[in-house]
Amino acid sequence: MINLFKRSGAAGEGHQLERTRHSRGWAEVLKFLSSEPGRSLRVLDFGTTSPHNINLLTSLGHSVYMANIVSEAAKPEWMAAPGPNARASAQPDYDVERFAASNLDFSGRDFDVILLWDTADYLPPPLVPKLFERLRAVSRPEARLLGFFHGKTDGPECGYARYQITNTEELKLLGSEPFPIRQVIQNRQIERYLEGFSTIRFFQGADNVREVMAAR
């Protein structure tokens, strides 16, 4: 489900607060969002719809586009049956192109800020390269992309969460659907996915989560 939001009224998140984390990447994005008062930017925020995030970002004068692709990508309807020449034991393939056409065109919009969070870790691996291909295509000049990547597939910090932003360097992580981490993506692979961005910086968090800040 993908929706474009302008300013909206206050509303609750509907999720129980689990933990907070200090984020150098979010601090830089917040500085970028606040650097030119009166300039309206377009923000792509991945995850379940967050009235809190929408309200904070629109209060800064920006528009927000929500993309809940982890939930959508987990649906069995995106599995394609093996071709006519496949072995009888062949497993269904993930239909990357059909998923991308339905969920990654963003209605023709491009963006100044992409809050990817740790979305890529929870997607079927064949879909991840296509995601970054599409994000490069919809990034405006000087756009910022913030992504998080886990260093392992299990542990208390590996549960899928909704990232709730604040007007400080702290993020709040709210409990969400029980999706598993599908893979650990290494730094060299991340750099390949972010080809086309002029600057890529890594920050290592205390919770075994790497933050990646990329600028066009």
Q: Is residue 13 within 8 Å of 162, Cβ to Cβ?
A: yes
100-147 pLDDT, tens digit per residue, is 999 999 988 999 999 999 999 999 999 999 999 999 999 999 999 999
Say what the pLDDT of residue 71 is.
Answer: 94
Please choose, from the candidates 11, 2, 6, the residue with its C-alpha nearest in 3D space to the C-alpha of residue 50.
11
159-208 pLDDT, tens digit per residue, is 899 999 999 999 999 988 889 999 999 999 999 999 999 999 999 887 78
Q: Report DSSP state, residue 85.
A: T
In this predicted structure, the answer to whether residue 21 has a pLDDT above a threshold of 80 is yes
Say what the pLDDT of residue 87 is.
Answer: 54
* H helical segments located in the chain: 24-34, 51-59, 69-73, 96-103, 128-137, 187-193
Q: Quick one: average pLDDT of 144-153?
A: 96
Say what the pLDDT of residue 120 is.
Answer: 98
In terms of phi and psi (left: phi > 0; alpha: psi -120 to 50; beta: otherwise), the region of 108 is left
Q: Tally the residues of the chain.
A: 216
Say what the pLDDT of residue 96 is.
Answer: 95
The pTM of this model reads 0.88
28-77 pLDDT, tens digit per residue, is 999 999 998 889 999 999 998 899 999 999 999 999 999 999 999 999 99
Q: Which CATH number fits domain 2-82+91-215: 1.10.600.10, 3.40.50.150, 3.40.50.40, 3.40.50.11540?
A: 3.40.50.150
Say what the pLDDT of residue 14 is.
Answer: 40
More confident of the two residues 192 and 91: 192
102 by DSSP, 3-state: which?
helix
Both tokens of residue 200?
Answer: 């890529």
Please choose, from the candidates 214, 173, 203, 192, the residue with its C-alpha nearest in 3D space to the C-alpha of residue 15.
173
